[in-house]
Structure 1
Amino acid sequence: MIPSHEPHAVPGTERGMMVVVVGPSGAGKDTLMALAARHFRGRHDVHFVRRVITREHDAGGEDHLAVSDQGFVSMEQAGSFSVWWEAHGLKYGIPAEISVSLAAGNLVVANGSRSALHRFQAVFPRLKVINVTARADVLATRLEARGRETHEDIMARLARGPLTVRGNYDVVDLDNSGSLEEGERRMVEVLTDCLAEVG
């Protein structure tokens, strides 16, 4: 079992900005992050985090470092994560070395979870949250296309899952109900604004 402890602020990271992208399944946050990473490729001041996750590397979705449960525990005990959390039976970790990039005044972008935002806030002095959402009918269509759940299960999940971020965070809402091009343009705009804040 992973020992429970509260995260604490990382000294020296206040120069840069930590951006955490959150959103419900089907909102398209993974896709928008991949497109934004391609757009900013080659820039030394924008860093997209490769998460450590206890799932197979070829399980689909984002490019991540796959580890076993025991491997994750060992990494956590060694101080390898700045933030980690559990969701849907998996463990997720943000590598501690991102503090170097933040200390250099860079923008660091990570795929996160609304349930873990308090952990990010405790660690990173400058935190921005991008909440990727979409209309309920769009979410339902995208989730049905995955074929993992029945229509009834999807509608029940959407009915009980709020699309907003609760808590005292600096949040930018990004509606990704439209075309992929529109979503990419908006994501790039938000991150460009974040860069201007850091600069």
Structure 2
Amino acid sequence: MDQFQPFFDFVWTTPTLPDDFTAWELFNSNLLLAIVGAAFTLVFREESQKQRQNENINLQNEVQKSREENETQDAAIIAATDKPNLQVAASIIRTLKDAIEVRAAEDGRYKRTYDKIARFDYIPLIEAMETRNLKDGSAAPLKQAFEIFKSYKNGRNEVPPSVLEKLQQILAALRETGFIKPVGKQ
């Protein structure tokens, strides 16, 4: 209790109230709310900061896990030798993912926002980037490519030639717009 004594001394000695000021007026004033609010802020601030830090750490771990799983899955698909169309389609999607990651890393203002988006599916990341730094019309073809490849990404089914041709057309169109830079210039 001795640690609060300076506070009590300040409260009882420093403020001077008018003589006609009643306890009822004090109870209904904003002063009491301010004191209670300050006390709650001091008590709960540290706990809420710890909670936010833990949430950020958990989110970073989840995003990192999704990136690792994506890379492992992409490598397994590309290594599969019995489905050549699937390999080509997976390498196209890998190229698109790399280009998206480069574009996300370039925009420092929203890097923290992009880092919080898990990479299990790239469509939410594309949608987040669409209004900020994908204004060149590349968001729609990117979403289309990922939607097309979604049913083949587990590696069980071979990619039909028509789907592979569509993915190649999307890749060529994105190269023309400059979204995908030539190798070595990223």
Shared fold (TM-score, shorter chain, > 0.5): no
What range describes the TM-score normalised by the shorter chain of this pair?
Answer: under 0.3
* TM-score of the two chains, using structure 1 as the length reference: 0.25
**Bigger strand share:** 1
1 or 2 for the larger relative contact order (CA 8 Å, sep ≥6)?
1
**Bigger helix share:** 2
* TM-score of the two chains, using structure 2 as the length reference: 0.26
